[in-house]
Structure 1
Amino acid sequence: MIENTTDDREKLPVGLLRKVGTTTLTAGIAYVITSLVDKPNIAGFTLSVLIGGITLIVQFLNDFENRLQKVETHQRDHTQHVEDLVETRFHKLNEATELFRLVETSTMRPDEVTTLVRHSTLIGPTTPPLVQSLASAQIRRTSNLLRELSEKADAIYEGEDREWLLCLTEDSTVGIDAVSLMTVDSGSKGVFEGGGLWTSDLGQRYLDAQRQAVKRGVTVRRIMVLDQPTGEDDEELRHLSDLHRAAGIEARVLEPRAVPGTLRNALLDFIVFDGSLSYETTRASSVDHSAKAIIATTRLVMRPDRVRDRIRWFDDLWDSAREMP
């Protein structure tokens, strides 16, 4: 047995049924009224049909008007959306064009900037969230550094830096003048023991970068500021002297009593690169004086007046220092 369900039946639209019902009701009322005024039946029937037809046409016209208004409203909203979209796209295009023009006129290499942007776009939705966060943090860090460099403001790195130091050494073209405090460079048991700078990975890379700089014609000078007097036969000092001499570095030793009076209470561990930038480290305070020195902050000083002060300090200390044994 085959059962018919309501899904198999064709249903008339509700709106159409309402129109038919309204038309029929109006025509019936018109026919009743015409019958009450003693009109001939044929005339009453014709008049009721006419009124019903007019009612139906009015309903369709009303629906058409409503639909037309909806279409106009939708068209107006769509047009506004398209205009907003086009305006946004043109704004972004103008912004991109302006950025590209700035990149082209900048002293930075355009290919390096565009490569950075291109590589950043490779971090897609499928990249793990932690990797995305790391990439964003590096971009923010680089952006902040570029802003500080452009404003000639001090750039600060919390802790001991290695990237700035090695990059500046590798890219220097004129001279490198360094004041090295032995309290910062020495380990807990001396210059070459207990984690001293010159036996660390950073120290070895830094020394090699200076050796390459000397080969490029860069003058590298270093002043070793001792924390206590020492003799000519000091084994660590001779070893340090041989290390620098082999790298082509001009090095001198400055004993505490020879430090000019104006600098004794304000002596810094700093490096002036090409006479235009000072790289400075600050040691963290510690109650354990036998422990290795901890670098609290690394600072890039770019203000011309402060850089000139560092150059003057270096010249005064260089004149007061003696040759390495």
Structure 2
Amino acid sequence: MSGASLGTGDNGAGLPRQGIPKLFWKILITASAAGGAFLLTVLLNGDDNNIWQWVASIVLGSATLIVQYLVDFGERLEVVENSQRRHIDDMKQSLANHHAEMRAAVDQSFAKINEATELFSKVDGSVLRSEEVTRLVKAYTQVGDEAPGIVKSFAEEELKRLAELMEDLISGRADSSFENHEWLIDLALCVKKTLYATSTTVDRDFWSSEPAKRYLVAQEKAIRTRGVEVRRLFLVDEPDEVTEALRQICQRQRRHGIDARIGVQSQLDPGGTVMDFIIFDGELCYETRPDHHVRPDMTMLRMKREHVEDRISQFDELWAATEPEPEPEAEPGRAPRRLRRVAE
């Protein structure tokens, strides 16, 4: 190890000369002070045998050595104090940052709690059933905790679709690709007063499908249990399109308690092309838009008052221009078939 490495350090005390140990300098300075004191007393006193010459040199040398150690101690103490001060400042800054982070986290947590409390307060005050919202939240959290990855992703997509539907309902319109049978059946389960509908050749194939059976059952339930008035007008372009199959569809609808009629648009003069639409309780209109193959391409829910009232006027005009279908005559020797009782 070289003398240069021994003569440097982090104690903050500068060395008189690089490469020479500090202890050597202390001894040299002490000896110089003692020798200087001895020579001075000799010159002043002139007596080589005087004991005070030695006492003065020893005292002065000792004092010099003590002063050097005190200076060195003071320098080291200052370095320690500065280090402690910096450490304390760092701790204060760290505590301040931690306090700020904790406060921000607490404020954020309380904000979330307040937001959740406000949300559930609105849910409780809403006319909607709050227990269903609570049930949805609980089920979603359980899916997030217990279900595998693909199920979580599917749940997120379904929740996203539901949230988008709720936002669309607030705006007064909602759209869905193709013909949304689930909307149709759910609305039939929710209707309370009236259900007025038109049916063109666009959805004629629908009445032989499985969703149509569930739709008819939902309408029959609405008629029996809630006294809903259901009217359906089957529209064709020309009289020759009124086929026996269409009449059978009307008869099947009447057996479910539905007031079904057939209208020829060329004779009714509706004043434009009539789309397939269903008016629920005079408040919401369910419509389907055909594609170039004359098949349902999009389902639209419209809740704007002007639009719904326009559809109601259009339906009332068409309905007033038609007459009820005559009941089929009973075959000779067979009692007429009784219709299903609506008030069962």
Structure 2 length as normaliser, TM-score? 0.77
Q: Give the residue type in structure 2 aligned to 1:241.
A: C
CA displacement 1:169-197 (0-9 Å, x = unmatched):
0111101111111x1133xxxxxxxxx21
Residue in structure 2 matched with residue 176 of structure 1 by the alignment: 195
Q: Which runs of 5+ in 1 are unaligned?
A: 1-16, 187-195, 287-292
* Superposed displacement of residue 231, structure 1: 8.5
Residue in structure 2 matched with residue 91 of structure 1 by the alignment: 111
Residue in structure 2 matched with residue 283 of structure 1 by the alignment: 290
Q: Give the residue type in structure 1 aligned to 2:249.
A: L
Q: Give the residue type in structure 1 aligned to 2:25.
A: I
Distance 1:261 1:42 in 2: 125
1:162-173 map, 5 Å: 162-173=181-192
Given that residues 13 and 76 in structure 2 are in contact (C-alpha distance below 8 angstroms), is that contact kept between their aligned partners in structure 1?
no
Given that residues 216 and 256 in structure 2 are in contact (C-alpha distance below 8 angstroms), is that contact kept between their aligned partners in structure 1?
yes
Distance 1:62 1:20 in 2: 10
SS in 2 for 1:43: helix
Residue in structure 1 matched with residue 307 of structure 2 by the alignment: 306
CA displacement 1:239-262 (0-9 Å, x = unmatched):
213201110110111013222241
Q: Give the residue type in structure 2 aligned to 1:184.
A: V
Change in CA separation of 1:294 and 1:261 when aligned onto 2, cut-off 3 Å: closer
Q: Give the residue type in structure 1 aligned to 2:159.
A: I
* Superposed displacement of residue 119, structure 1: 1.6
SS in 2 for 1:124: helix
Residue in structure 2 matched with residue 64 of structure 1 by the alignment: 84
CA displacement 1:269-307 (0-9 Å, x = unmatched):
001111111110111112xxxxxx521110111011111
What is the aligned-residue identity percentage? 31
Change in CA separation of 1:282 and 1:247 when aligned onto 2, cut-off 3 Å: same
* Superposed displacement of residue 124, structure 1: 2.5
Does 1:252 find its partner at 2:253?
no
Q: Give the residue type in structure 2 aligned to 1:215.
A: R
Given that residues 13 and 72 in structure 2 are in contact (C-alpha distance below 8 angstroms), is that contact kept between their aligned partners in structure 1?
no
Given that residues 27 and 51 in structure 1 are in contact (C-alpha distance below 8 angstroms), is that contact kept between their aligned partners in structure 2?
no
SS in 2 for 1:121: helix
1:137-152 map, 5 Å: 137-151=157-171
Runs of 4+ in 1 over 6 A off after TM superposition: 20-24
* Superposed displacement of residue 20, structure 1: 12
1:155 to 164, 174, 185: 174
Given that residues 283 and 297 in structure 1 are in contact (C-alpha distance below 8 angstroms), is that contact kept between their aligned partners in structure 2?
yes
1:226-265 map, 5 Å: 226-230=236-240, 234-262=243-271, 265=272
Distance 1:146 1:205 in 2: 24
Residue in structure 1 matched with residue 228 of structure 2 by the alignment: 218
Q: Say what the alpha-carbon RMSD is for the aligned residues.
A: 2.6
SS in 2 for 1:285: coil
Distance 2:319 2:291 in 1: 26
Distance 2:285 2:239 in 1: 28
Q: Give the residue type in structure 2 aligned to 1:119.
A: A
Larger-Rg structure: 2
Given that residues 199 and 232 in structure 2 are in contact (C-alpha distance below 8 angstroms), is that contact kept between their aligned partners in structure 1?
yes
Q: Which runs of 5+ in 2 are unaligned?
A: 1-8, 38-57, 327-344
* Superposed displacement of residue 221, structure 1: 0.6
* Superposed displacement of residue 60, structure 1: 2.0
Does 1:109 find its partner at 2:129?
yes
Structure 1 length as normaliser, TM-score? 0.81
Residue in structure 1 matched with residue 51 of structure 2 by the alignment: none
Distance 1:231 1:51 in 2: 118
1:135 to 155, 177, 181: 155
Change in CA separation of 1:30 and 1:58 when aligned onto 2, cut-off 3 Å: farther
